[in-house]
Amino acid sequence: MDSIDKSILMALDRNCRISYEQLSRQLGISANAVRKRITNLLETGVIVEFATLFTPAMTNSESLFIQIQTNGCEDPDELSESLGNHPSVLQVTRVASGIGGSYIIFAEYLDSLQMLDLNSFVRSVECVVDIDAHPLLTSRGGRIELKHIHLRVLRFLIDSPRMQVSEIARKAGMTARSARRALDEMLESEAIWFSARWDLAASGSTRFFARIEFNPKTGSHEEIEEWLRHEYPHAYWYSYVSATEPIIFANFVVDHIGDADNISRNLINAEFITSAIPLIVFPTKKYHRIGMTMLEEKLREAGF
């Protein structure tokens, strides 16, 4: 992937309904070139799917990042599927490890009881010997009181998030103007995410998390994230930030494993970083999100 692919993915993550023409104007390439790149990202598995879902503000959910250590007795695929069976788990990633097995879970939970249940479940899975769980600081989005017209539009976008307004209007039996107004209201509220789910390791590049411990007296997590964007404009993508400890899990995509080593070595030289451990990851298995499940339930309740 190059910087244009990265810009496309970031734009689709913010709003996967963005048109080829809009992306063309933003990136300075033709709409046909944008289309070809998105098609390639889909075919290679970098874009896993486009998704329509409630934001955390709509579901009242929180996020959790869990590092798992095993004794190495597991079949990685079977372990991932076992972990993915829990309704809170939305993705499982295997991490390269020299001792036993290592995995990362990204999960969502609705309350403290569900978080405790998830922790207990993970610890009970065969071969798991230790876990390190971090509640996360995440974007929560906004809220909206969904009206019937919103649900009429969402019933089609749940399966086809990039469906054109004209087709939504035709299928929903409404005018294109009404469909567009309903869509604009949902987008402006930031209560519904129209997003792309990625697997950056599927590109053939090396993906890794840098587990960064930092000194909050010399730098905030916002300042560190901004510094990472400036220092590594192509390699750095995003971070998961622990809500309970001064720890950032910064996500990088590089061409070679040696680049991961160089970046982690450079990070430790920053005055506000106390440690930086690279976690080389394999392709991620993704599962249903709470925001998807609750939106589907809302549509069923409304008779759609």
Q: Residue 253: give its domain's CATH number.
A: 3.30.70.1150
CA–CA distance, 103 with 282 (Å, rounded to integer): 10
Split into its structural domains, the chain has a count of 2
pLDDT over 70 percentage in the chain: 100
Q: Does residue 167 fall inside a structural domain?
A: no
- 170: pLDDT confidence band, cut at 50, 70 and 90? very high
Residue 49 β-bridge partners: 197
Average pLDDT over residues 229-251: 97
- pTM, whole model, 2 decimals? 0.92
263 token code pair: 């970046």
Q: Which domain holds residue 11?
A: 3-43
Strands 247-254 and 128-137: unpaired
Report the half-sphere exposure of 68 (CA within 13 A, side-chain side): 31
Residue 60 lies in a domain: no
Closest to 196 in 3D by CA, of 11, 55, 71 = 11
Q: What is the CATH number of the domain that holds 25?
A: 1.10.10.10
The residue type found at 180 is R
Q: Is the pLDDT of residue 99 over 90?
A: no
User: What whole-number distance in Å separates Cα of residue 296 and Cα of residue 143?
Assistant: 17
Pick from 92, 39, 40: nearest CA to 70? 92
Average pLDDT, stretch 233-243? Answer: 96
Determine how many CB atoms are found less than 10 A away from the CB of residue 8: 22
pLDDT of residue 201: 85
The neighbouring-strand residues paired with 59 are none
Span 186-235, pLDDT tens digits: 999 999 999 999 998 888 899 999 999 999 999 999 999 999 999 999 99
Q: Is residue 192 part of a domain?
A: no
Res 98 pLDDT > 80: no
* DSSP code for 158: T
How far is 271 from 260, CA to CA, in rounded Å? 20
Residues near 220 by beta carbon (within 8 Å), at least 6 away in sequence? none
Residue 129 included in any domain: no
Sign of CA dihedral 41, 287, 209, 244: positive
Report the DSSP beta bridge partners of residue 107.
64, 89
- Is residue 28 in some structural domain? yes
Q: Is residue 266 part of a domain?
A: yes
In a domain, 262, yes or no: yes
Domain-located, residue 130 = no
Alpha helix positions (H), 72-164: 76-84, 112-124, 148-157
